[in-house]
Structure 1
């Protein structure tokens, strides 16, 4: 684990594809990945790609993909039958064919695949959400009986994954999505909207009851590309009551599992050298001496003042020391 002063605080990715969404996140690896570790080294390189795909239950189906992309239902049914005959293994699901239908916007083909027994799962739902295609999402939610506030296998919720699509956010909220349900990193849809600079969605979520005290939206505002815009967002969140000294990832089992050090927004502002954010956070009562949370005795706890000093950010150190002397 790198020193807390070696680089920017880790930025937890919105997408954690492959992490199972069980209650305790006990294992970061899919069973299929574990079982492939030894067999892979014995496979002839020329057959590795196909054998690997078959072992994952997703054999290649180029002709089926072509049929799906053209929307030729008869051709789709014929190719589906051919692929199933060629790959009769019990683990073959062909759910990647559903992804192809989503990406090609072939809703009738999607319905056809489902009707002919191709099993959809929440990874297909993730693809549909990223595409922002509401009719596909509605059909998949119905097909796999997905509850709108359940956590996906990538650690996200439908709402947190879909914040880049305002119309989808409105649709999900109308269908019972809770704007305060947190993802695996203890971030809310509001936090993700701040991070991804989805300003129209911010207001939609706030109007729907999003709570700025949940998640770590202040930290996310420091990742906004334009510093002035980030400060504007931070000021808005602070005025709405965002807790100034909250640790990022508070109460998130996944943070503890991975072992990231958890700091406050002031830690992040000092690490990033954002002196105006430092001043703003101090005006709202941020504590420069508050230590990071760490998950290992080998990592030193550091305050925001420590982080600024270790990077020789003398201007920020001066501001922090002046605040402490007041």
Structure 2
């Protein structure tokens, strides 16, 4: 017990005799027992500066309690006593530090309470309540202005509940906008919310992530929403850190009508490696899409994905970058593989890991493509 750092602070002068040990232990147990009989008491492990376990601390997160906690249950009155070996001054200093930690925890809890209160007002559509709650929170502590990032959930609540006035207020007060909340507005087809985001500085051509293109790539599932994006300045050719564009995403999942719309509004086969992504399409109109972009001069028939940009290629070659034919071999799209072969696709080009398309087809058990490639002279 003497090796316990907290005990060493509390009992620096104790004689390590069994009697002294027993007295200290009894004192600790009685204190612990009394604390357990009080509601709202929480136990936290205490460690020293090196992270070693030192003991436990007890405090409450109930803001109405006193420093020592408030009794909500009747407890048996005990006569107060301290072991003779207790260093009261040292224990008071430890208690002071624990109270400071308790206050820090209370401040954090207060932020949670404020956020929850604000979210309730948002969901109720109470603009005045939102304004009052937010203003009160700022007035409590001017340093709270640096913590507004914690309120990002409130933006999502306003979007979900179509509370556009509240959404405008929150953004005007400086609560930051997260790309996830924009994505939520797109999923809900909340055009008014998107307009508010643009008015408050959202860049419609900002990449979703360093590897994902701007959010037009999410809107393409709905032709009308895609048209709205284009009307508000969205660029079908806008890239992320790599040559991957909303139009490239459309090759995989958008309707033919939406793809035509994107081309009509500035989309180009010179961006996005469209042939590679069209080779991954699974819909019944996939050959129609391939015909359409090849008629526009889509490049890259016998080029590996990202090979036209050496820096990108080197950073991604571990993924097994392929030609469009290699992608079809992986996806198992026999009609696409046949189409590409008839238009000059070379079955002898290996992917960035050194595998031939026929080897890829074998690995993914696409036996019909293996047979097709064999007809064109490919061997594994």
Give the structure-1-normalised TM-score. Answer: 0.68
Task: Count residues with an aligned counterpart.
Answer: 267
The one-character-per-residue Cα deviations of 1:117-141 (angstroms, maximum 9, x if unpaired) are 3233544434334433222222222
Matching of residues 219-234 of structure 1 within 5 Å:
219-226=276-283, 228-234=284-290
1:188 aligns to 2:245 (yes or no): yes
- Please state whether the residue corresponding to 1:176 is helix, strand or coil: coil
User: Displacement, 1:313?
Assistant: 4.6
1:237 to 282, 289, 293: 293
Query: 1:122-201, aligned counterparts within 5 Å?
Result: 122-144=179-201, 146-153=202-209, 155-201=212-258
Q: Given that residues 71 and 106 in structure 1 are in contact (C-alpha distance below 8 angstroms), is that contact kept between their aligned partners in structure 2? A: yes
2:139 is the counterpart of 1:80: no
- Tell me how far apart the structure 1 counterparts of residues 160 and 227 of structure 2 sit (CA, whole Å): 22
CA shift in 2, pair 1:291/1:207, >3 Å: same
Greater Cα radius of gyration, structure 1 or 2: 2
Q: Retained in 2: the 8 A contact 1:186–1:252?
A: no
The alpha-carbon distance between structure 1 residues 312 and 133, as it changes in their structure 2 partners (threshold 3 A), is closer
Task: Describe the SS at the equivalent of 1:156.
Answer: strand
Give the CA deviation at 1:73.
0.7
Partners of 1:60 and 1:287 lie apart in 2 by 63
Note if contact 1:279-1:319 (Cα within 8 Å) is conserved in structure 2: yes
Gaps of 5+ in 2: 1-50, 52-60, 62-104
Aligned with residue 122 of structure 2, among 63, 68, 79? 68
Gaps of 5+ in 1: 1-38, 40-46, 294-299
Partner residue, 1:286? 345
Structure 2 Cα separation of the partners of residues 273 and 112 of structure 1: 51
Residue aligning to 2:146 = 90
For the 8 Å contact 1:160–1:183, the answer to whether it is kept is: no
Residues 10-21 of structure 1 aligned to structure 2 (within 5 Å): none
* 1:141 to 1:313, Cα distance in 2 relative to 1, 3 A: closer
Q: 1:270 aligns with which of 291, 306, 329?
A: 329
TM-score (norm 2): 0.60
RMSD: 3.5
From 167, 176, 181, the counterpart of 1:119 = 176
Q: Specify which of 263, 267, 271 is matched with residue 214 of structure 1.
A: 271
User: Does the aligned pair in 1 maintain the 2:213–2:246 contact within 8 Å?
Assistant: no
After the TM superposition, which residues 41-60 of structure 1 pair with which residues of structure 2 at under 5 Å, given as runs?
Answer: none
Aligned partners of 1:119 and 1:65: how far apart in 2? 16
Residues 108 and 256 of structure 1, relative CA distance in 2, 3 Å threshold: farther
CA distance in 2, matches of 1:257, 1:100: 39
What SS does structure 2 have at the residue aligned with 1:181? coil
Report how far residue 273 of structure 1 moved.
2.5
SS at match of 2:285: helix
**Residue deviations 1:94-153, cap 9 Å, x none?**
122112111211111111212333233544434334433222222222212x44433244
Contact 1:123 1:153 (8 Å CA) reproduced? no
